[in-house]
Amino acid sequence: MNAVVDVKILNKQITVMGEVRNPSVVQVDKDRNTLLEMISRTGGFEFYANLKSIKILRQQGLHVKVAKIDLTKSGNYQFKNIQLYPGDIVIVPSKRHKTFDKRISTIIPFTSTITAAAILMGAF
């Protein structure tokens, strides 16, 4: 007796998180999708996206495999076009200086106001 097992993937979703314009769970209608397709479907990268350390998480049995992708290397087309499968999770981290840039943008108007007040009061 020959048994036939038909395995169907019920989770037809790929999750894209982090520094993309529209982080979301993307419904996919095919079994193979590329990293760049999923980034495109979520609106593309945000300004602070760290393209050097994109992570793809994939469940393999009881373990989660993590692949780190660097999209900044030229000639790295194989990794740029990496295949994603339903159930994969893509994480696009922030650049390290994002927090500094956000803080400095709130400090600059404050210092400009102080400088303007000092000029008006004749301090300079």
User: pLDDT by residue for the chain (124 residues), tens digit each?
Assistant: 666 655 555 668 999 999 999 999 999 988 789 999 999 999 999 999 999 999 999 999 889 999 999 988 877 566 568 899 999 999 999 987 655 555 556 666 655 566 655 666 765 5
Q: How far apart are the first and last CA of the chain?
A: 95
Q: What does the alpha-carbon distance between residue 33 and residue 92 come to, in Å, rounded to a whole number? A: 17
- Which pair of tokens denotes residue 60? 């393999």
Half-sphere exposure of 104 (CA within 13 A, CB side): 5
Is the dihedral angle over the CA atoms 12, 18, 21, 22 positive or is it negative?
Answer: positive
What are the residue boundaries of the structural domains of the chain, listed by start?
13-93, 96-124
CATH superfamily of 13-93: Outer membrane lipoprotein wza domain like (3.10.560.10)
